[in-house]
Amino acid sequence: MVRRMNTFSHVKRGTAIAACAAVLVGATAGAAAAEPRGHAAPHPMGSVSHHAASPFTAAAVATGPKPGTLAVSFSADRHERVRVYAGSSAKAQQHLVATAAGSARLTVTSAHGSWIRLVPSSGAPLVLTVRELGLASDPNLRDAGGYRTADGRWVAMGLVYRSAALTLTAADRKVVDGLGITGDYDLRTPSEIAAAPDVVPAGATYANLNVMGTDSAGMGSSPITTPEQMAQMMEDGERGFVTQASAKKAFATLLTSIADAKGATVYHCTAGKDRTGWASAVLLTLLGVDRATVTQDYLLSNTYFFDSPAVQAQLAAMPPAQAAIYTPAMQVRAAYLDAGFDQVAKDYGSMYAYAVKGLGLSPRTVAELRARMLKG
């Protein structure tokens, strides 16, 4: 049996459960379309004619099959001639490592760095890198960009990172210190922060944006006795991210800060999956990324958090019945994210309306967010 949170309402309790479940294993784990369905966007992203369209309909960079290599894939018109360059950063000197026509899957050297610049014979180039950083102490720290929007642009990489608690080893801190992060936005409660303070990236300003609006994510007295009850609480928690005043304030500040940032931004909670997952879903949707891709990004926390050895060891140490109850809280499921989108549709009709009417963002802030983060 698991105790429910002692909070102000059923939805608030669900939001607290989402935070609390991460607290149970978050520190240990670290150590080891946009619009809601059925609603047209009231504020269109704009036509392709307003910007230089990228000819790439798909592209990705991943760790290669052998040490010292990168796997690069892209799709474009068969008449496009694509030059592939590699460098140590998005703006560093680039080295030609391959050429290809149209669509290709390539294995290239990473000797020059992991940033890949795809230069087509026509249209805008595309700069990508490996999404996940591969950190032992924070496996769920990853780039929030690298996705194509519905109007053919791409969310820039190297500007926004999403993460679990920044309880970094010395080796991993060196990696994070090199990301150019100037803003560290911590979505946790004070008690979570006290238990596992951030290792703030070098040169970054730290801010606590308490989504929960409470001091603690501790358990209360109302029991949860089945996995189904826990899953329902997770869905309720996602709705709470949309309705709670503290959540609205936190997400509004975060999005405004990203729009205004001079460097890169990192935002995180404890596990990097619930509060952080909703923040990423809102950001990507406002940028014009389609719903399926947003969900795919959300579900990656199962790979980087739930499937991690530390989390699996924690669950294995529990009695089977208890592990079964906690498992829905340790996972992310499409149904959880759907609950948040459904709440947005019910209360506001669209994600843009939620951002403006619910979060209080100005249309100018949304426009600045798009201008800063969209390329091609």
Q: How many Cβ atoms sit within 10 Å of the Cβ of residue 364?
A: 9
Provide the angle, in degrees to the nearest 10, between the axes of the packed helices 227-243 and 245-260: 60
Name the pTM for this structure: 0.89
pLDDT at residue 311 greater than cutoff 70: yes
Least confident range of 103-107, 177-181, 219-223, 370-374: 219-223
What is 2-52+136-375's CATH number?
3.90.190.10
pLDDT at 7: 33
pLDDT at residue 34 greater than cutoff 50: no
pLDDT band at 3 (very low <50, low <70, confident <90, very high): very low
Residues in contact with 273: Cβ distance below 8 Å, sequence separation at least 6, in sequence order = 22, 140, 164, 301, 305, 306, 332
**Helix-then-strand count for the chain, H and E:** 12, 16
Of 35 and 214, the structure prediction assigns the larger pLDDT to 214
Classify each residue of 68-90 as buried b or exposed e, where b means 16 or more C-beta atoms within 10 Å of its C-beta. eebbbebbbeeebebbbbbbebb
pLDDT at residue 325 greater than cutoff 50: yes
Nearest Cα to 333, choosing from 188, 250, 232?
232
Contact assessment for residue 283 and residue 185, using Cβ atoms and an 8 Å cutoff: no
Residues in contact with 331: Cβ distance below 8 Å, sequence separation at least 6, in sequence order = 302, 306
pLDDT tens sequence across 200-253 = 999 999 999 999 999 976 544 578 999 999 999 999 999 999 999 999 999 999
pLDDT at 161: 99
C-alpha to C-alpha distances, 128 to 61, 73, 99, 131, 199, nearest whole angstrom = 6, 11, 16, 9, 27
CA distance 116 to 130: 9
61: left (phi over 0), alpha (psi -120 to 50) or beta: beta
pLDDT at residue 35 greater than cutoff 60: no
Contact assessment for residue 353 and residue 42, using Cβ atoms and an 8 Å cutoff: yes
CA distance 233 to 12: 9
CA distance 145 to 27: 25
